[in-house]
Amino acid sequence: MVKYVELKHKEGFIRGLHHDNKANTIVIFLHGFTGNKNESYFMFSYQAKLLDKLNIDSIRLDYYGSGDSDGFFEDMDFYDLIVQGKKIIEYVKSLGYHHIYLEGMSMGGALAIALASEDIAKLILVSPAINMADLTNEIFKISEILPSGNASYKSLEISPLFKKSVEEIDLFENIVNLDIPTLIIQGTADLAVPYENALKVKEKIKKAILITVEGGDHIYSEKSYKDALFSNILNFVR
């Protein structure tokens, strides 16, 4: 059964979907920078259906300012993303799940690292964007800066607070002291997140394994890339 979920945040709500099979295990999906609860080519929504077949529940919400949630994209900063992530984890804990897994795509992978705690049984990091500070600085360097101070990025705006937050955050502060089994998946042709990032993440996390998708781009846009992605994730969560 798929349930609609609303969690109060700031002056509004973050919204998403809960695949509820009355299982003991749940995967929390954390989407990327300009992504949403379904992710590119329906990566998350398709995977949620595959998890249903394994009797594993899942939940995926849009960040505040993204997708169906309230707020605007320029409201986003990384510290607030951590607040939202903790809110989702607490909500899931209140439902009585015995095993909580985090799966993050791109910036969501960086967020999953930052959210690591003893409450989390496994981590899945898909092209983890630990280089968000570099990416954001480049955007501010090449983009029009609006009177508000925000950078114009395609049809969106990025605030100086977001830039400051990704520059300041220590993603690995907590996880270096934890023993969380972690799956890292990284494509070799990812133009947004260099392959070297995945190697750095693997070095930082004690129980990490790295799966390389040869030729894989950032969003795993070919069927062979997506098949490799899903098969490795499903094997990891079984």
Written as six digits, the tokens of 64 are: 């505040």
Which among 120, 155, 131, 115 is positioned nearest to 218, based on CA atoms?
131
Q: In this predicted model, what pLDDT tens digit does every residue of 8-53 receive, in sequence order?
A: 999 999 999 999 999 999 999 999 999 999 999 999 999 999 999 9
Tell me, what's the pLDDT at 2? 96
Which among 238, 13, 47, 82 is positioned nearest to 90, based on CA atoms?
82
Domains of the chain, residue spans: 2-130+172-237
Show the DSSP H helices in 11-158 as ranges: 43-53, 78-94, 107-115, 132-142
Contact 110/98 with Cβ under 8 angstroms? no
The span from the CA of 46 to the CA of 121, in Å, is 22
Tell me, what's the pLDDT at 62? 98
CA angle 199, 218, 107 (to 5 degrees): 70
Q: Write down the CATH superfamily of domain 2-130+172-237.
A: Alpha/Beta hydrolase fold, catalytic domain (3.40.50.1820)
Q: Which residues of the chain have pLDDT under 70?
A: none
Tell me, what's the pLDDT at 17? 98
Written as six digits, the tokens of 192 are: 């947004």
For residue 99, count other CB atoms closer than 10 A to its CB. Answer: 15
Q: At what angle do helices 160-168 and 78-94 cross, to 10 degrees?
A: 70
Residue 189, CB half-sphere, CA atoms under 13 Å: how many? 10
Contact 88/98 with Cβ under 8 angstroms? no
Contact 19/51 with Cβ under 8 angstroms? yes
The span from the CA of 60 to the CA of 44, in Å, is 8
For residue 95, count other CB atoms closer than 10 A to its CB. Answer: 12
Q: What pTM was estimated for this model as a whole?
A: 0.96
Tell me, what's the pLDDT at 188? 97
Query: Exposure pattern of 54-81 as b/e (b: 16+ CB <10 Å)?
Result: eebbbbbbbbbbbbebbbebbbbbbebb
Tell me, what's the pLDDT at 58? 98
The span from the CA of 138 to the CA of 50, in Å, is 37
**Which residues neighbour 218 within 8 Å (Cβ) at sequence distance 6 or greater?**
106, 127, 187, 190, 191, 192, 193
